[in-house]
A = this chain, B = another copy of it.
Amino acid sequence: MHENYDLELLMELVRQKKFRQLKEALGQMNEVDIAEFLDELDVEQEILVFRLLPKDLAAEVFTYLENTEDQEKLIGALSDKELREVLDELFLDDTVDIIEDMPANVVSRILRNTDTSTRSQINQLLNYPKDSAGSIMTTEFVYLHPDATVEQSFARIRRVGLDKETVYTCYVTQNRVLLGVVTVKTMLLSAYETRIGDIMETNVLSVTTHEDKEDVAQMFSKYGLTALPVVDGEDRLVGIITVDDAMDVIEEETTEDFEKMAAILPSDKPYLRTGVFETWKSRIPWLMLLMLSATFTGIIITSFESALNACVILTSFIPMLSGTGGNSGSQSSVAVIRALSLDEVEFSDVLAVLWKEIRVAVLCGVCLGGANFIKMMVVDRWLMHNPEVTPLVALVVCLTLMLTVVCAKIVGCTLPMAAEKVGIDPAVMAAPFITTIVDALSLLIYFAIATHVLGI
């Protein structure tokens, strides 16, 4: 996607210090785009431009800045009064997000500049575990009384709504216990004198503060929600989660899944903002582990050295066998991992999954084996005149291929499900891990068949 604004022009305005024109241009822009533009500037310019923004816009822009070090320097450059103005405009959950990324001295300065009630709410939100629903919720929601009329409720929304993240879904509570929800749409379509308790939806989806935030985000896409209430152990409403935060969680978790599947330790910074050393740290552990575990394949080959010596052509098919085995296994594992994360499959389906994968594997194995037999006979033997490629050698290779594909698919589908069962993230069981196992398996099968069929 391309920028919705002219970056070059804005940069030019900054360079020429044409601040009046710049201010005008910024007024026409979306807050996310302004943040993107600020991220391109160096800190001194950033502070200058940030001061040009009207208060309410400044706060929104601030939450979208990518670079936490810049955020920190920006806070450092603001006077207490300016900081208070920005904080006043922020939604509570955004303030908490910022605080989580800041060093202690900045945090205490932020807390000093918020009022007592906000401060206690912030402290409460900071206490929820990192991956819990509590950590992504906000305590700023509209609650209504079941005995209030629609007219009274609209008056209440007008009075308290400005600071709330959403006013469209209101929560009906009595003694803080969640009784139901009512949307502004329902209220708009009802008569003014209707009692809220009579039009509220009592069949409410809710989560508890300690639920995993990934499961919560999945509920948004499963049920098509825009907001979800969060309750404590006694069914008392303590906060709400809005769809934009759920989308952020889904995006983060998807990136994490991609990383895990590529044997990268998850990082939470954008690609180009992660330092070389940091990137190295996230990549080397799995590379090292997988490299050292390849010791087994080495041992297998060494112990069949005499067989390989007797029939050297066998060596040339090792990369093809392990490659095809790895690809077959990773197809199954990725398909199962994705199905698990979308809740299409759970552990109790393990036999159905296994049965399906075995049938697919046999089909794939027969096709690949057949194609490879023809290729070895036509290309290797006939076109390239390689006398070592006898029909018997081709048979050994193709039998190995079929068995490897079947084993690879069985390993590929069972490992992620077993991981899910014992509470490990199935994404870790993707391609690199499977490939290493399948490499060893395919060699064992290869040499077993070769020694039998070729009598070496």
Q: Encode A220-257 as 1/0 by CB contact (under 8 A) with B.
A: 11111010000000000000000110011011001101
C-alpha gap A287/B337 in the complex (Å): 19
Q: Is A219 an interface residue (CB 8 A)?
A: yes
B308, A312: Cβ atoms under 8 Å? Answer: yes
Chain B residues with Cβ below 8 Å from A444 are none
- With A223-B32, A360-B280 as known contacts, state yes or no: A1 contacts B291, CB within 8 Å: no
Q: Is A371 an interface residue (CB 8 A)?
A: yes
Which residue of B is nearest A319, CB measured? Answer: B297
Give the interface segment out of A45-53, A80-88, A98-106, A183-191: A183-191
Known pairs A258-B337, A287-B327 / 9 extra A-B pairs, C-beta < 8 Å: A226-B244, A251-B342, A258-B258, A270-B342, A271-B336, A271-B353, A276-B356, A302-B313, A302-B386
A263, B327: Cβ atoms under 8 Å? Answer: yes
> Which A343-357 residues have a C-beta within 8 angstroms of B?
343-345, 349, 352-353, 356
Chain B residues with Cβ below 8 Å from A401 are 291
Q: Is A261 an interface residue (CB 8 A)?
A: yes
- With A184-B168, A291-B320, A298-B320 as known contacts, state yes or no: A276 contacts B363, CB within 8 Å: yes
B261, A334: Cβ atoms under 8 Å? Answer: yes
Which residue of B is nearest A355, CB measured? Answer: B276
Q: Is A79 an interface residue (CB 8 A)?
A: no
- With A283-B360, A315-B315 as known contacts, state yes or no: A247 contacts B221, CB within 8 Å: yes
Q: Is A149 an interface residue (CB 8 A)?
A: no
C-alpha gap A243/B371 in the complex (Å): 47
**Contact for A270 among B272, B344, B435, CB less than 8 A:** B344
B287, A324: Cβ atoms under 8 Å? Answer: yes
C-alpha gap A251/B217 in the complex (Å): 12
